[in-house]
Amino acid sequence: MSRMRVAVGQSGGPTAVFNASLFGFLEAAVAGCEVYGALNGLQGLDEGRLVPLPPSVVGRSRQAAEMPGAWLGAGRWPLDGEGFDRCARNLARRGIDGLVLIGGNGTMWACLQMERAARRIGHELAVLGVPKTVDNDLVGTDHAPGFASAARYVAATVRDVGKDLESMRNFESVRVLETMGRNAGWLAMGGGCLREKPEDPPHLIYVPERGFDRGAFLGDVQEVYRTYGYAVVVVSEGLLSRAEAPLVEPVVGGVAPELASLIAGELGLPARGEVLGMAQRSCALAASPVDRREARMLGEEAARMLRAGRSCVMPGLARRSSSPYEVEVREVALESVAGMERPLPEEWRASPGEICGEFKEWLRPLVGEDLSAHPPNVAGAADGLDRLE
């Protein structure tokens, strides 16, 4: 990068490793070019709010790479064709000839629109995307940074809530846990990562890619309760948005309380719905080491791509092996990614009471081999009281 002027921004919802990608890029880029940060992502581009990020600032702020949230600010900012032209003109006025945006499928679409807008106004602009999403619905990469940490959080939470409910089953019967994933069930399915035996939670998992049937759902819950005396259910937030009249109105978000109310009303079982919410994507304590390392690596790779004169591409992860775990970085055209969603593969959509072994093998190295079906220091103690009776 012979003194390119480059703008970088973060867009969409943050993840536990969002800043790792940012600082991977910054530390690889600042030595060879002038770097500017777009405050609050697309909003900063639209309003011309670019701040210089010289090596001294990046060096002093290095610890932010380990923090959740978005160091430059992110969020969502709607733009139409005129808005993208405005962003391009703002960049042209500042002499910016390279743009990197870190985000999900909507951000990749925005990257493509930015490159086209720059061409419309006659400004030569290299545009790259860096993948990020906890939903893991981004096309062109084996998985996206942010997902592994969120899945780690969900898997551990489901395991621990399951032990809690097992202890309380003389008082409560069912807990329905809601994960993110409006149209894709990656995170919900990840909730079953630590299940080793049928009696281990979660007992049931429901994803948007699989049709939802109210009667079958109630029957599944009833059967699990009869078998184990309690039931832990995991659902995606978008589960009921496309179902055929499961309730009075389609629901997107808040699905767990709706289903808990349905269970209580129809089956007479004490049920509680819990929305895991923003903790899934923001919990730095649950950040996966693999996730953090790969997030930084893709940020560094984006700097290398700019240095090589690339545009309209993103670095994606291609898996070479799950055991031992190996990935490589490949260049992916934004046109094949922009605005598209990747659902959970058909072959991994097991029935609600099952978890595909191939999916678990794929997910295990991402969430971390240190996680187990039992919390730390209590493995083997779960059945202790049974032996005393």
Q: What is the pLDDT of residues 40-85, one digit of tens each?
A: 999 999 999 999 999 999 999 999 999 999 999 999 999 999 999 9
Q: Is the pLDDT of residue 263 over 80?
A: yes
Q: Does the active-site annotation cover 220? A: no
Report the predicted TM-score, pTM, of the whole model to 2 decimal places: 0.92
Q: Is the pLDDT of residue 247 over 90?
A: no
Distance CA 232, CA 74 (A): 34
Q: Output the CA angle 151-282-339, nearest 5 degrees.
A: 70
**Among the options 46, 85, 135, 220, which is catalytic?**
135
Domains, the chain: 4-133+287-336 (3.40.50.450), 147-283+344-372 (3.40.50.460)
Q: Are 158 and 166 in contact (CB under 8 A)?
A: no
Distance CA 61, CA 82 (A): 35
* Residue for token pair 């005396």: 229
Q: How many CA atoms lie within 13 A of 352 on its CB side?
A: 26
Query: For residue 75, what is the DSSP state?
Result: B
- The predicted structure's pLDDT at residue 240: 76
- The predicted structure's pLDDT at residue 182: 87
- Residue 108, SS3 per DSSP: helix
Torsion over CA: 74, 343, 214, 179 (sign): negative
- Residue 223, SS3 per DSSP: helix
Distance CA 110, CA 46 (A): 12
Torsion over CA: 271, 378, 356, 368 (sign): positive
Mean pLDDT, residues 329-346: 94
Q: What is the pLDDT of residues 181-239, one digit of tens each?
A: 989 999 999 999 999 999 999 999 999 999 889 999 999 999 999 999 999 999 999 88
Residue 253 confidence class, pLDDT cut points 50, 70, 90: confident
- Residue 183, SS3 per DSSP: coil
